[in-house]
Amino acid sequence: MHRKNSTGSGLACAVVVAAASLAGCAHHPPPQQFTASAPFSRTFTGSGDAVCWSVKRALLSQGYMLDGPIYAGVLTGSRDVQPKPKLNISTRLQTTCADNRNGTSIVFVTAEREENALQKMKQTTSLGVGPATLTMPSGSARVLGTVRRETVRDPVFYNQFFSLVQNYVDQERVSQAAALAAGDSDNKSADRPARLSSEVPPRGGTSDNLPPPRQ
């Protein structure tokens, strides 16, 4: 009888633990992968051509090497830094800009950070004839290996990039306004001589301007 009670108690405990586990899973859903917020995008005032050109200027101004464009509006650039003698950090950005057709344009950007460290790798040499093969160590070599790779999620990083793009968007707007004002000024100066020439009478006068004959 004692053994039967012990077995029944064990089964009851197992059922309780399983139920608690299921309840715990129900109260802790997996993290949300897609949200309404968009930290990787920003909307700018301006046409697609002006905003995309500003994005390109922002990347080039920070030393990013741009790859050849594959699709219209898509730019990919990378930059390497070496904070330590045996550590190399590579940052790769992919940007996409599109005209919203309402006087604004949207820019999407994603950055990937990769760390590569100089590591020692053992080398081996295989010796043998026929089925008999002997592997022996032959030294070591230092190679650059990837130790970490991740998508950058720091909002400060993206805010700095978008602020730099906004700076170039503002410069582009000022340049376009100055060019438009210069064009209007040139048109007015070109029209002024034509109007003046039409108002000045021809030399020598006309018959209407001759003095009356003497009697």
Q: What is the pTM of this model?
A: 0.63
pLDDT digits (tens, 9 = 90+) for 25-83: 555 666 677 777 778 999 999 999 999 999 999 999 999 999 987 788 899 999 999 99
Confidence of residue 213 (pLDDT cuts 50, 70, 90): low
Residue 191, by phi and psi: left (phi above 0), alpha (psi -120 to 50) or beta? alpha
Output the pLDDT for position 182: 86
Q: What percent of the chain has pLDDT over 70?
A: 62
DSSP 108: E
| pLDDT reported for residue 95 | 96
Residue 104 burial (10 A CB sphere; 0-12, 13-18, 19+): middle
Q: How far apart are CA 115 and CA 91, in angstroms?
A: 9
Report residue 33 as tokens. 């992968």
What the chain holds in terms of domains, given with CATH numbers, is 37-124+135-186 (3.30.310)
* pLDDT tens digits, 162-188: 999 999 999 999 998 898 888 877 777
Contact 108, 41 (CB under 8 A): yes
Distance CA 158, CA 112 (A): 12
Greatest Cα pair distance, the chain, in angstroms, is: 161
